[in-house]
């Protein structure tokens, strides 16, 4: 739904004036009635939150929690498997998580392992994650993967399935 068009119709029906006079709150409103019409028609029409929105919100929360909870954790080549499993199990118990896979880049861990203490800290760039989050009848498949061209561990939407 084009909310600007819907707002224009509501404003015209309520006030009998063209909506262009109400579409720019920065310019202010001539009176309180026009301000209230704007708030109760235009703003409410744009606040419809869908299952898709909730599925993507939940997916973003899962990836953000995973990233910020586990980056910085001590890791060496012998603890990678158990850390991958711990991350997977931790996120799996959260609401709406249907499936998650977690892989830590072993080559990066080996490269960053210190000479003296033989471990490094888990970095976002070492993680490759894919999660399937289902909220009601909508499934969001999201991921986290290091993007070499951006030199950044990028979170992304892979697919959205609406049943």
Question: What is the reported pLDDT for 33?
Answer: 65
Q: Which of 156, 95, 90, 160 lies closest to 129, judged by CA?
A: 156
Q: Which residues of the chain have pLDDT under 50?
A: 1-22, 24
Domain boundaries, the chain: 3-45, 51-162
Distance of alpha carbon 28 from alpha carbon 97, whole angstroms: 45
Decide: pTM greater than 0.85.
Answer: no
Distance of alpha carbon 156 from alpha carbon 138, whole angstroms: 17
Question: What is the reported pLDDT for 9?
Answer: 44
Question: What is the reported pLDDT for 42?
Answer: 60
Domain 51-162 has CATH 3.30.1300.20: yes
Distance of alpha carbon 125 from alpha carbon 130, whole angstroms: 14
Q: What is the 3-state secondary structure (H, E, C) of the chain?
A: CCHHHHHHHHHHHHHCCCHHHHCCHHHCCCCHHHHHHHHHHHHHHCCCCCHHHHHHHHHHHHHHHHHHHHCCCEECCCCHHHHHHHHHHHHHCCCCEEEEEEEECHHHHHHHCCCCCCCEECCHHHEEEEEEEEECCEEEEEEEEEECCCCEEEEEEEEEEEC
Question: What is the reported pLDDT for 48?
Answer: 76
Question: What is the reported pLDDT for 11?
Answer: 43
């Amino acid at each position: 739904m084009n909310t600007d068009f819907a707002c224009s119709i509501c404003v015209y029906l309520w006030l009998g004036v063209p909506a262009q006079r109400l579409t720019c709150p920065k310019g202010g409103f001539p009176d309180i009635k026009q301000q209230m019409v704007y708030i109760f028609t235009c703003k409410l029409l744009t606040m419809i939150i869908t299952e898709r929105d909730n599925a993507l919100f939940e997916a973003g929360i899962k990836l953000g929690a995973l990233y910020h909870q586990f980056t910085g954790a001590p890791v060496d080549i012998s603890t990678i498997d158990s850390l991958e499993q711990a991350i997977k199990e931790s996120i799996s118990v959260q609401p709406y998580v249907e499936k998650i896979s977690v892989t830590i880049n072993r080559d990066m861990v080996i490269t960053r392992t210190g000479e003296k203490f033989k471990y490094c800290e888990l970095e976002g760039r070492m993680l490759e994650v894919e999660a399937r989050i289902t909220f009601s009848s909508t499934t969001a498949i999201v991921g986290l993967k290091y993007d070499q061209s951006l030199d950044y561990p990028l979170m992304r939407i892979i697919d959205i399935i609406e049943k």
